[in-house]
Chains A and B, each alone.
Chain A
């Protein structure tokens, strides 16, 4: 009796798939998955997983509630605004910086007088 004949009926011949057994395709590593995702995205196979909603950073407490109206020279207005833009600061904070500097110079002058 051959091995083939000893198998149960119904899985002989064409339907005997024992020859298809073999090493499995390895699961892609995390790095491979990232590169696969990028390759797929280039062909329009993008991720459809829901992404967590973006949380907006907390707004700073409103502290600049006082208002001052001043008249200054047009050139100085431009300098103040340029400075505030370069420093990415609000005009209220620029004013506070200027006051810090002015008060420091005032203290230095008083110390120099003795």
Chain B
């Protein structure tokens, strides 16, 4: 039922990876139908779905239309427990339409000033869309591809996190680490649950990271619903 969009006008911040991690984690743990809408013209998630190992309670729909994205989301949420939308890494009207339909917008960034500037643009769009629609659209920043150890945080990361905090831009407590296991899902197909623990290193830590992220997403949705 809830619609979660991954938004950033910049490419390469890890939207698709984060969307796939969330979708596959929810499919495995919630056990209900999950729809992943691939709104990236390069169709990376559609290509992933053609590889073996996609959970039976998951579907991937490709929709790269600006007007049709609204209908795709509306139809998908009727039959799914969660609809996750992976948007293209550009500023476009399609992004605006998807945000307008979202219960939660997630803005992934890496610890760089360029990513932070583009994330600020995405947050402006979310706030403007919320005002235009007369409703709150919750959002969170997701720090992505961070060092696996929480003890290793660059000065850039700390500086950007502080600036965002001061600007009232809320970030997830969970940060997705830069892990080989996440890249392996695209190379070999399947999910973190189906990857071979013998061939993919640090799979256990990746699974724990993904679970923590999915649980925090659910917590945010619950908190927003309770308002």
- C-alpha gap A22/B225 in the complex (Å): 9
Q: List residues of chain A with CB within 8 A of the CB of B67.
A: 33, 49
- C-alpha gap A49/B222 in the complex (Å): 36
Expressed in whole angstroms, the minimum distance between the Cβ of A7 and any Cβ of chain B is: 10
Most buried by B among A14, A39, A45, A46: A45
**A45 and B102 contact, CB distance less than 8 A:** no
Q: Which of B87-95, B108-116, B168-176 forms contacts with chain A?
A: B87-95
Interface 1/0 per residue, A17-49 and B, CB below 8 Å:
101111011011000110111011111111111
Given A8-B31, A44-B91, A45-B125: A24 in contact with B70 (beta carbons within 8 A): no
Most buried by A among B32, B82, B91, B124: B91
Q: How many A-B residue pairs have CB under 8 A?
A: 106
Q: List residues of chain B with CB within 8 A of the CB of A48.
A: 66, 90, 92-94
**B93 and A46 contact, CB distance less than 8 A:** yes
Expressed in whole angstroms, the minimum distance between the Cβ of A35 and any Cβ of chain B is: 6
A-B contact pairs, 6 of them (CB 8 A): A10-B31, A15-B29, A17-B218, A20-B221, A36-B96, A40-B129
Q: List residues of chain A with CB within 8 A of the CB of B3.
A: 25
Given A20-B222, A22-B225: A33 in contact with B129 (beta carbons within 8 A): no
